[in-house]
Each structure stands twice: as C-alpha cells, then as structure tokens.
Amino acid sequence: MPHMIFVEPDGTEHKVDAPVGLSVLEIAHKHGVDLEGACEGSLACATCHVIVDPSWAPKLAEPTEDEEDMLDLAFGLEKTSRLGCQIVMTDALDGLTVRLPRKS
C-alpha cells in the first residue's frame, strides 16, 4: 500500500498508509491528522489547504480553475498550495509529502 507524509507546522512528520483512490483529505481524517475539510471535499471551501513538497508538485495533475478559485481564499498560500480534497492517491504518489499550513 502506498504511504504519504503529513508535516505539521512545527515540523513533526506523520507517515501514514494512503489507500489508492482516497483523497489527501480523506487520508488525513482516516489517520487523525488535523486537516479540517469543512465542506467535506465538495470543493466549496479552502479548509483542506496543504502545501505540497516542491519535489512532488510536478507529479500532480494541474489544479482546476475551481480549485484555484478556492485556493485564493486560503491563508498562507504558497506556490505549491493545493486543496487536499482534490489530490487523489495513486500508486505513483507513494511517498507524497504535504505540509499543513499554520492556522494564523
């Protein structure tokens, strides 16, 4: 099974199982990682904002216009920011690393 790594704002890392077909948001919830997802993955908020490790960003599909619009609402936006609900795990993403942004 693929794995992924969540990095807390303080640098603490959580390596977790990442089942193929689940979104980063779903994987976070499955493992108790503090990633809100207020709209439950319906692309109606930006509370599942993550910062993808720069080495992984080119391996992801480009964000849709709807995702980019929602990202404009995210706090602490960075060049590799994405919404966790829009990144779906595949075998090719084994080892994906994302950082959780600071809350304020």
Burial of 100 (0-12, 13-18, 19+ CB in 10 A): buried
H or E, element range at 65: helix 65-71
Domains, the chain, ranges and CATH?
A: 3-99 (3.10.20.30)
% of the chain beyond a pLDDT of 90: 95
For residues 49 and 53, what is the distance between their CA atoms, to the nearest angstrom? 13
**The predicted structure's pLDDT at residue 7:** 98
Looking at every residue in the chain, the average pLDDT score rounds to: 96
For residues 1 and 80, what is the distance between their CA atoms, to the nearest angstrom? 25
What are 42-64's pLDDT values in tens digits? 999 999 999 999 999 999 999 99
Is the whole-model pTM more than 0.75?
yes
Helix, strand or coil, per DSSP, at residue 88: strand
**The predicted structure's pLDDT at residue 42:** 94
